[in-house]
Amino acid sequence: MQDKLKDILLKVQKPARYVGGEYNLPDMDKPCEERVCLCFCDKYEVGMSNIGTRILYHMLNDTDGVVCERCYAPDVDMAQQLKINNLPLFSIETKRDVKTFDLIGFSVQFELQFTNIAYMLDLMGIPYYAKDRGEEYPPIVAGGPCVVNPMPFAPFFDAVLIGEGEKNLKELVELHTLCKRQKLSKKEFLERATKLNGVYVPSLNNPVKRAVLEDLDKAYFPTKILVPNCEIVHDRSTIELFRGCANGCRFCQAGFYYRPIRERKVDTLVRYATELMDNTGYDELSLSSLSTSDYSQLKELVARIKEEADKRKVKLALPSLRLDSFEAEIYEDMQGASLTFAPEAGTQRLRNVINKNISEEDILTSLTAALKYGVKNVKLYFITGLPTETDEDLQGIVDIVKLVKQLHYKYGKSKLLNIVVSTSVFIPKPLTPFQWEAQIPIEEMYRKQDFLKDNLRIKNVKYSWHDAKASVIEAVLARGDESIARAVVRAYELGCVFDSWSENFDYDKWIKAFEETNVDYKKFLNGFKEDETLPWDIIDNGVKKSYLLKERHLAYEGKTTPNCIGKCNGCGANKFARCFK
Amino acid sequence: MIILRHYKVDDVSYVSQKDILRVLQRGLKRAKIDVKYSQGFIPHMLTYTSTPVPLGVQSLAEYFGVECSGIDKDEFLKRYNASMPVGMRAVESFYKDKNPNIAAIVTASDYRVKSSQSLSKEIEKIAESQSYFIDVNKKGEVIKKDIAPMVYALKVEDDTLCMRLATGNTNLRCDDVIRHINGKFGCDIKINDIFRTAQLVRDNGSFRDVEEVLR
Q: Which residues of B touch A312 (CB under 8 A)?
A: 29
Interchain proximity B14–A231, CB inside 8 Å: no
For residues B128 and B62, membership in a common domain is answered with: no
Assess contact for A169 and A156: CB atoms under 8 A. Answer: no
Tell which wins on pLDDT, A299 or A142. Answer: A142
* d(CA B16, nearest CA chain A) in Å: 8
Question: How high is the pLDDT of residue A322?
Answer: 59
Average pLDDT value for residue range A150-179: 97
Residue A134: other Cβ atoms inside 10 A: 8
Residue A540: other Cβ atoms inside 10 A: 18
CA–CA separation, A204 vs A191, rounded Å? 8
For residues B97 and B115, membership in a common domain is answered with: no
Interchain proximity A278–B192, CB inside 8 Å: no
Amino acid in the structure at residue A448: K
Closest C-alpha to B167, from B185, B187, B146, B151: B151
Closest C-alpha to A324, from A282, A363, A273, A283: A363
Strand order in the sheet with A338-344: A338-344, A377-384, A418-425, A461-465
For residues B36 and B110, membership in a common domain is answered with: no
Average pLDDT value for residue range A54-70: 98
Structural domains counted in chain A? 1
Interchain proximity B85–A15, CB inside 8 Å: no
Task: Look at residues B86, B104, B122 and tell me which one is the last residue of a structural domain.
Answer: B104
Report residue A334's pLDDT band, with 50, 70 and 90 as the boundaries.
very low
Helix axis angle, A360-372 to A391-411, nearest 10°: 30
Among left, alpha and beta (phi > 0; psi -120 to 50; other), residue A385 is: left
CATH of the domain at B123: 3.30.70
CA–CA separation, A67 vs A37, rounded Å? 9
Sign of CA dihedral A254, A255, A261, A262: positive
* d(CA B138, nearest CA chain A) in Å: 16
Domain annotation covers residue A520: no
Interchain proximity A278–B86, CB inside 8 Å: no
Q: Is A550 exposed, middle or buried (0-12, 13-18, 19+ CB in 10 A)?
A: middle
For residues B69 and B138, membership in a common domain is answered with: no
Task: Look at residues B104, B125, B147 and tell me which one is the last residue of a structural domain.
Answer: B104
Name the residue range of residue B65's domain: 2-104
Instruction: Give the contacts of A343 (CB within 8 A, at least 6 positions apart).
Output: A323, A351, A356, A358, A363, A380, A381, A382, A400
Q: Which residues of A touch B18 (CB under 8 A)?
A: 231
* d(CA A205, nearest CA chain B) in Å: 44
Amino acid in the structure at residue B123: I
CA distances, A322 to each of A167, A241, A411, B144, B150 (Å)? 30, 15, 22, 59, 61
Question: Which residue in B12, B28, B56 is closest to A9 by CB distance?
Answer: B56
Interchain proximity B12–A21, CB inside 8 Å: yes
CATH of the domain at A35: 3.40.50.280
For residues B78 and B166, membership in a common domain is answered with: no
Give buried/exposed letters for B44-54 (b at 16+ CB in 10 A, else e).
ebbbbebbbbb
Question: How high is the pLDDT of residue A377?
Answer: 87
Question: How high is the pLDDT of residue A579?
Answer: 85
Q: Which stretch of DSSP H or E encloses residue A208? A: strand A208-209
Instruction: Give the contacts of A334 (CB within 8 A, at least 6 positions apart).
Output: A302, A316, A317, A318
pLDDT digit string (tens) for A66-121?
999 999 999 999 999 999 999 999 999 999 999 999 999 999 999 999 999 999 99
Instruction: Give the contacts of A121 (CB within 8 A, at least 6 positions apart).
Output: A127, A128, A140, A156
Task: Look at residues B104, B139, B160 and tell me which one is the last residue of a structural domain.
Answer: B104
Residue of A nearest to B29 (CA): A281
Report residue A429's pLDDT band, with 50, 70 and 90 as the boundaries.
very high
**SS3 assignment for A111-141:** HHHHHHHHHHHHHHCCCCCHHHCCCCCCCEE
Tell which wins on pLDDT, A313 or A353. Answer: A353
Residue of B nearest to A314 (CA): B29
For residues B132 and B122, membership in a common domain is answered with: yes
Closest C-alpha to B111, from B146, B150, B85: B150
pLDDT digit string (tens) for A522-548?
999 999 999 999 999 999 999 999 999
CA–CA separation, B109 vs B22, rounded Å? 24
Give buried/exposed letters for A347-372 (b at 16+ CB in 10 A, else e).
bbebbbbbbbbbeeebbeebbbbbbe
Assess contact for A534 and A540: CB atoms under 8 A. Answer: no
Assess contact for A542 and A210: CB atoms under 8 A. Answer: yes
B84 interface with A at CB cutoff 8 Å: yes
Structural domains counted in chain B? 2
Residue of A nearest to B9 (CA): A21
CA–CA separation, B45 vs B23, rounded Å? 13
CA–CA separation, B152 vs A216, rounded Å? 64
Domain annotation covers residue A301: no
pLDDT digit string (tens) for A187-218?
999 999 999 999 999 999 999 999 999 999 99
Q: Which residues of B touch A313 (CB under 8 A)?
A: 29, 37
Which of B16, B25, B26 to mutate against chain A (most A CBs within 10 Å)?
B26
For residues B100 and B111, membership in a common domain is answered with: no
For residues B31 and B92, membership in a common domain is answered with: yes
Closest C-alpha to B4, from B53, B58, B75: B75
Helix axis angle, A114-124 to A484-493, nearest 10°: 60
Q: Which stretch of DSSP H or E encloses residue A284? A: strand A284-288
Name the residue range of residue A122's domain: 2-209
- Is the pLDDT at A581 greater than 90? The verdict is no
CA–CA separation, A361 vs A372, rounded Å? 16
Q: Which residues of A touch B10 (CB under 8 A)?
A: 21
Interchain proximity A16–B14, CB inside 8 Å: yes
Beta strands in chain B (DSSP E): 2-8, 34-35, 47-49, 58-66, 68-69, 90-95, 108-114, 133-138, 141-146, 151-157, 160-166, 194-203, 206-209
Report residue A327's pLDDT band, with 50, 70 and 90 as the boundaries.
low
Tell which wins on pLDDT, A54 or A292. Answer: A54
Average pLDDT, rounded, for chain A? 93
Question: How high is the pLDDT of residue A292?
Answer: 86
Report residue A465's pLDDT band, with 50, 70 and 90 as the boundaries.
very high
For residues B60 and B49, membership in a common domain is answered with: yes
Backbone angles phi, psi at A547, to 5 degrees: -70, -45
Question: How high is the pLDDT of residue A369?
Answer: 81
Could you read off the pLDDT tens digit of each residue along chain B, which spans 215 residues? 999 999 999 999 999 999 999 999 999 999 999 999 999 888 889 999 999 999 999 999 999 999 999 899 999 999 999 999 999 999 999 999 888 999 999 999 999 999 999 999 999 999 999 999 999 988 888 999 999 999 999 999 999 999 999 999 899 999 999 999 999 999 999 999 999 999 999 988 899 999 999 88
Beta strands in A345-477 (DSSP E): 377-384, 418-425, 461-465
Interchain proximity B86–A21, CB inside 8 Å: yes
For residues B34 and B122, membership in a common domain is answered with: no
CA distances, A247 to each of A259, A357, A560, B9 (Å)? 11, 8, 11, 51
pLDDT digit string (tens) for A504-527?
999 999 999 999 999 999 999 999
Q: Which stretch of DSSP H or E encloses residue A341? A: strand A338-344
Q: Which residues of A touch B29 (CB under 8 A)?
A: 281-283, 312-313
For residues B156 and B66, membership in a common domain is answered with: no
Interchain proximity B19–A278, CB inside 8 Å: no
Closest C-alpha to A250, from A357, A382, A111, A366: A357
Amino acid in the structure at residue A59: M
Question: Which residue in A10, A25, A230 is closest to B56 by CB distance?
Answer: A10
Report residue A357's pLDDT band, with 50, 70 and 90 as the boundaries.
confident
For residues B208 and B114, membership in a common domain is answered with: yes
Rg (CA), chain B: 18
